[in-house]
Structure 1
Amino acid sequence: MAAVSRWDCFDAIEGDVRAMVADPRWAALPEPARAQAIASRVLAAPDGGRWLFGAHARWHRHDPAGGRWHPAAPPVDPEFRAASRVAHDTSVIPRHLVPHGPDVTADRGSVQGFVGPDVPPRITGRVRELLAAQRGRRREDFPLTGPFTEVFAEEVASPVAAVWGTLMWCAYAPAFDGNEVLLSMFGEFLARPLPGDEWVRWLSPFSLEDLAALYGERVRAGHPEAGRRLVALMADTAGVIRDDPRFRPRADALPAMLEPVLRRTGADPSAAQAGDHAVRRAWLERCPPHVTLPETSPGEHLQHVVYDLVVALGFVAAKGADPRAIAASLLAADLSEAAPGAVEELCPWLEPELRHMLRVALDDPSHPLRRCWPRTGELPTALYPPDRAAAAALLGTSYAAGLAWCRLTGTPVPERGFATASAVVHRLVHERDDPVPGDPADSGGPRIPGIPEAPGTPFRHF
């Protein structure tokens, strides 16, 4: 007899909301009607929690103590998901949780790092052409600004920085294979070796204001056309790299933000006279609303990348563990090594259960969650990702989370990377230049002793 599939209320509601928002009539609905439609699909979980699938295609969990909804990756336990029911909630849903359409239907790209899966040759070849065309530019005509002066040699002009800065800004998580062609082509321009080691380069993204400063400097110096050429180069670079999903969401957004400069229709030259902050604000105002950026809110950006980290750890559910508990443990491992005091600034942005698990993993050396911490640079065997794609996603999300909390707290990014991301690299380096293998997903493996299983609410285990 064929097995009867288990009802999954979370899948059903998510599918319903996605279909509803994708309907062309959704955008024409009055805002109160859209909010009511989302409120009528709030889930009541067996532990009494409330869950909502809404803006940016994210699940949110209600914190009854604070009254806030927090982005929270949904529970993975099948029984818990099957036992949840529509709450028929009549409470008012905050406006920012109601999807407007593109935030749910847009391509979110890939969360993988650039160690393991290489950037395709068709992209690196086109970037090389853009870069080759900048050779011979004079530093006097295109001066470097800000942090670019620390990266590039004295004779290098700002068009090279415009290409590099666009790559770094668009990347989901700029941790790159040390042999990655996309990086090696910049070798002749660098002032010093990139941070990292022989396996991986742990790079920090340049900010949107760093890119804006390249343009603003030329405008204030009386050379607006040179500034426009730099902006055109940024847009061209974004157009090339958007074919790699690890760059795509921001690479799609950047040309839209820059278009008025290229068409000479915006007030960007006047904004440049007021300073780089003003240029940055003008560009952010033109960012498509479905794209989430750290420049908009570092705290909300942290919420999104932690959500991605929990999803990337979904494979541990087959080993009897809760991905949220493992994510909290690995965040604690990174914080413990780089900036343990920063946890106080992070916690207000985390959903209550994950916040609690993060604190106990940091504060209690004997807590079972400590068993997930990397030891001697390696992940515990039970946390090995089942294949290269899963390892690249764990690398990308863990590194992105580290960059996010460093940005939020003002912590310098460690030159040797974070403990978790560095440990994941050991699962990738020996096959980093090979085609992605077709290994089946791991459906078993050792249980992680003492770690919460995967119910809807691991909070009760502590």
Structure 2
Amino acid sequence: MAAVRPWNAFDAAEAEVRSMVSDARWRTLPEPDRAHLIAARTLVTRDGDRWLFGAHARWHLHDPADGRWHLAPPPRRLRARQEGHHTSALPAGVIPSGPDFAAEPGSTQAFVGPDVSVKLCEQMRELLRANCRKPELDYPLTSFGDIFARDVPSTVAAVWGTIMWCAYAPAFDGNERLLTMFGEFLRKPLPGDEWVRWLPAPPLVDLVTLVAERRRAGHPRTALRLAALIGDAAHILLWDSRFRPRALALLTMVEPVLKRPELDDEAALRDDDALRRAWLRRCPPRLARAVLAETDPEAHLSHTVYDLVEALAFAPDPARAAATYLADLSDSRGTLPARLDHRLRHAYDDLRRAGLTSTSASERTEPDGFPVMPGPRFPSTGPHTGPGDSRTGPREHFTGLPGDSRTGSGFEGPGLTRAGEGAAGGVLPADRAGAAAVLGAAYAVGLAWSGVSGARVPERGFAGSAALVQRLIHERDDSPI
């Protein structure tokens, strides 16, 4: 006889709310009635914390200090009772609208550990090969110039930009197939080291610019081909849950113009941002969370912090474990704590008083401010630029990043010891997928914080994320020379 799962107040409340919101009548209810139904299912734990399952199909935690509700996964191992909450005290932002419950959560895994499938990589390689030899005069590189050599056509940038924009957290294995196919086009080595490429997340306007510039230059068919290429690349990415939510959103933005080529002419002729706004307006409410980085960076940060705490659910104290990763973020103005729920804020403040926050705020003599002890060195296995090719002559050539001691125990530093060994209360994720989920969520938080605060993203990764790579490097599927 199968074991019966013990009753849990959080699971029960979540199931009730999901059932209500999925009912077609939910959208027809007046706002006060919706608020009453949600407020009546508020839970209270023994420590006095109040929780409700609301907007975005996520849990919200009440902050007793100022009455705000923060996105926060609940402590499902704790007992809770249903107590209800004053309806008038609920802000509209925590009440589900309906479409927000239809969003696909995707996956927080980085591309370190579980690889992108061979099938997806081969389909993307075929798409790139079919479009990489277009004449650069017809397809000039109007964005991504910091990534690609000057003679690379914008078709290559369109495929690359789609991959990076759709990725939940673009941290890739240094020898990932999805990156190596771009090696011959790169202007310089990708940021990172021989283990991980910590790549920036491009804004949507970088993709939009490729299309808008061609339309303004009087080449509407070329602009349409670039839009179609972005759509083709997004369609391939649907195979992987780490890309799927944003790939779906991108497809809903691009596909209408493929059916009506003149649809975006007015916006494109105005400027890039006008076209960007036109694309975003076409994104349906059910996919709104996938584009929060573009529409509401503050909310996007809150969701990535939620993902991080959820990925650390295996830890004895997930909030305290998450705080050690948040401590990596540069916060010279001291504005991060106010954005956190009171559990995270208290844990973060403990680290701040110990002088263990803002670990990536400055670089001293070694990367990210941490001393690097001598250790084994390997040549970079990731994509790199080689000498010039036969198409247009020599390209700018940059030397690769030196190896470091991250391959063994010689890589030391307070931030890495804290995050790598103590972030989860002395407990590492149970498996490769769990470690990749924490790594991806932590890196996504760093990128989201950069989008909100302007803080830099360390070229070799945030300390906690970089330390977690130690959990994965012995399971790599390639063999460094």
TM-score (norm 2): 0.82
Report the Cα distance in structure 2 between the residues aligned to 1:17 and 1:231, rounded to whole angstroms: 39
Match of 2:416, as an amino acid?
Answer: P
Identify if the C-alpha distance between structure 1 residues 286 and 353 changes in structure 2 by more than 3 Å, giving closer, same or farther. same
Question: Do the aligned residues in 1 keep the contact of 2:356 with 2:415 (CA within 8 Å)?
Answer: no
Alignment of 1:98-109 (within 5 A): 98-109=95-106
Report the Cα distance in structure 1 between the residues aligned to 2:113 and 2:187, rounded to whole angstroms: 27
Aligned to 1:352: 342
Measured after TM superposition, the shift of residue 68 of structure 1 is: 1.7
Report the Cα distance in structure 2 between the residues aligned to 1:217 and 1:127, rounded to whole angstroms: 25
Per the alignment, in what secondary structure is the counterpart of residue 65 of structure 1? coil
Report the Cα distance in structure 2 between the residues aligned to 1:198 and 1:377, rounded to whole angstroms: 21
Aligned to 2:113: 116
Question: Do the aligned residues in 2 keep the contact of 1:117 with 1:433 (CA within 8 Å)?
Answer: no
Per the alignment, in what secondary structure is the counterpart of residue 70 of structure 1? strand
Report the Cα distance in structure 1 between the residues aligned to 2:326 and 2:145, rounded to whole angstroms: 32
2:326 counterpart of 1:331: yes
2:332 counterpart of 1:341: yes
Question: Do the aligned residues in 1 keep the contact of 2:298 with 2:452 (CA within 8 Å)?
Answer: yes
Tell me the matched-pair count. Answer: 417
Measured after TM superposition, the shift of residue 274 of structure 1 is: 1.8
Per the alignment, in what secondary structure is the counterpart of residue 273 of structure 1? helix
Deviations 1:129-186 (A, max 9, x none): 110111221111111123x111111210101101100100000000001111011111
Measured after TM superposition, the shift of residue 21 of structure 1 is: 1.7
Report the Cα distance in structure 1 between the residues aligned to 2:88 and 2:149, rounded to whole angstroms: 59
Deviations 1:194-253 (A, max 9, x none): 111111111011110111111111111111221111111111111101110000100011
Identify if the C-alpha distance between structure 1 residues 348 and 165 changes in structure 2 by more than 3 Å, giving closer, same or farther. same
Question: Do the aligned residues in 2 keep the contact of 1:377 with 1:422 (CA within 8 Å)?
Answer: no
Aligned to 2:421: 379
Identify if the C-alpha distance between structure 1 residues 104 and 376 changes in structure 2 by more than 3 Å, giving closer, same or farther. closer
Aligned to 1:214: 210
Report the Cα distance in structure 2 between the residues aligned to 1:207 and 1:217, rounded to whole angstroms: 16
Report the Cα distance in structure 1 between the residues aligned to 2:461 and 2:203, rounded to whole angstroms: 19
Report the Cα distance in structure 2 between the residues aligned to 1:28 and 1:423, rounded to whole angstroms: 50
Report the Cα distance in structure 1 between the residues aligned to 2:167 and 2:325, rounded to whole angstroms: 22
Deviations 1:379-419 (A, max 9, x none): 34923211111101011001111111112111221110110
- The more displaced of 161-170 and 381-390 is 381-390
Question: Do the aligned residues in 2 keep the contact of 1:330 with 1:372 (CA within 8 Å)?
Answer: no
Alignment of 1:403-422 (within 5 A): 403-422=447-466
- The more displaced of 90-99 and 52-61 is 90-99
Identify if the C-alpha distance between structure 1 residues 169 and 12 changes in structure 2 by more than 3 Å, giving closer, same or farther. same
Report the Cα distance in structure 1 between the residues aligned to 2:75 and 2:275, rounded to whole angstroms: 42
Give identity over the alignment, percent: 54
- Structure 1 unpaired stretches of 5+: 435-462
Aligned to 1:36: 36
Match of 1:417, as an amino acid?
Answer: G
Question: Do the aligned residues in 1 keep the contact of 2:43 with 2:80 (CA within 8 Å)?
Answer: no
Per the alignment, in what secondary structure is the counterpart of residue 51 of structure 1? strand
Question: Do the aligned residues in 2 keep the contact of 1:326 with 1:372 (CA within 8 Å)?
Answer: no
- The more displaced of 173-182 and 21-30 is 21-30
Aligned to 1:281: 277
Match of 2:194, as an amino acid?
Answer: E
Match of 1:330, as an amino acid?
Answer: Y
2:353 counterpart of 1:363: yes
TM-score (norm 1): 0.85
Identify if the C-alpha distance between structure 1 residues 415 and 270 changes in structure 2 by more than 3 Å, giving closer, same or farther. same
Question: Do the aligned residues in 2 keep the contact of 1:305 with 1:397 (CA within 8 Å)?
Answer: yes
Match of 1:155, as an amino acid?
Answer: D
Aligned to 2:404: none
2:389 counterpart of 1:399: no
Measured after TM superposition, the shift of residue 4 of structure 1 is: 8.9
Identify if the C-alpha distance between structure 1 residues 264 and 243 changes in structure 2 by more than 3 Å, giving closer, same or farther. same
- Structure 2 unpaired stretches of 5+: 358-412
Question: Do the aligned residues in 2 keep the contact of 1:330 with 1:373 (CA within 8 Å)?
Answer: no
Per the alignment, in what secondary structure is the counterpart of residue 150 of structure 1? coil
- The more displaced of 391-400 and 25-34 is 25-34
Question: Do the aligned residues in 2 keep the contact of 1:329 with 1:372 (CA within 8 Å)?
Answer: no
2:264 pairs with one of 264, 268, 287: 268
